[in-house]
Structure 1
Amino acid sequence: MRSSKPLNLLLLVLTILVIGLPCFIVATTKEWMPPELTKWRVEIVNGLRNNAALFVHCKSKENDLGIHNLTAVRNFTWSFRENFFHRTLFWCYLRKGDAHANFNVFWHDVLLFYKCGWKSCVWTAKDDGIYLKDFIKDSEELCEKWKPGS
């Protein structure tokens, strides 16, 4: 009769690798939680000068977050948990005066998670484009330029 110990050991190691790997990848956080268990927050900030209004319409495949007209220095924020299969995707259409931008604001990407401090993605609309707050570098990165027209 053959021993099942090597097979059991192999299954245990594979289980630890498959289940434990997401936790290992996110081990740079204090909370040490896989991305699908983290409560994420996305914030769109009107950082336009001259009290300009910002039109915002954000959605995912499952959720339409509605239309928001943000006055100067106002924001629109929502929270969610990433789905188990890492397919959560939110995108936004922003418009200011005679220019617009259409871009992804959340998707499963370790670099994005790193910049967002593993919990909060802050996008700021400024006169020259849309910036993402990089919490690790404590800076803002221009990610999307305005396109002419509406």
Structure 2
Amino acid sequence: MFIIQPDRLYLHGVVFEVRVINGFKNNSSLPLVIWCSSKENDLGGRALQEHDDFSWKVTTKLWKSNQFSCTMKWDAKRRSFDAFKVPRDFYRCGHFKKCSWLVTEDGFYFSSDEINWKKDFQW
């Protein structure tokens, strides 16, 4: 079965791994607080210490939300962003369907291989 978007065609039932990594340096006293959810699934909150990560799997569905949003808080900084969104990530997450985010002092970096990181958002 397929999911049809205005400009692309997506397969139903494809599994993606989404991972958020605390990439801050020397912040052991200040965790990165993260809360992620979709319309159907609240993953809850986590406090990630330096180099900790939080990951989950997303299966594309025909009649349900294919988007997970996360709110991040670190010290006085706060930012919400889409950690996974089918139109943006279906092809961008690569052959292995891995969508990784590295959160650092200066922003949010995306990678499909955890080697090559591209800055997508700032705080």
**Which bracket does the TM-score occupy, shorter chain normalised?**
0.7 to 0.9
Q: Which has the larger radius of gyration?
A: 1
Q: Give the alignment's TM-score, normalised by structure 1.
A: 0.67
Q: Larger % of strand: which?
A: 2
Shift of 1:107: 1.2
Contact 2:39 2:65 in 1 (8 A): no
**RMSD value, Cα:** 2.4
For the pair 1:48 / 2:16, whether they are aligned, the reply is no
CA distance 1:144–1:130, shift in 2 (3 Å) = same
For the pair 1:76 / 2:38, whether they are aligned, the reply is no
Give the letter for the 2:66 counterpart: T
Q: Give the alignment's TM-score, normalised by structure 2.
A: 0.81
**Identity of paired residues, percent?**
28
CA distance 1:40–1:134, shift in 2 (3 Å) = closer
Contact 1:129 1:144 in 2 (8 A): yes
Task: After TM superposition, list the pairs within 5 Å mapping 1:85-104 onto structure 2.
Answer: 85=63, 87-104=65-82
| Matched residue count | 115
In structure 2, which of residues 97, 100, 103 is the aligned counterpart of residue 122 of structure 1? Answer: 100
Work out which structure has the larger RCO, using CA pairs closer than 8 Å and 6 or more positions apart in sequence. Answer: 2
Q: Which runs of 5+ in 2 are unaligned?
A: none
CA distance in 1, matches of 2:92, 2:118: 10
Moved more, 35-44 or 52-61: 35-44
SS of 2:51 mapped into structure 1: coil
Moved more, 56-65 or 114-123: 114-123
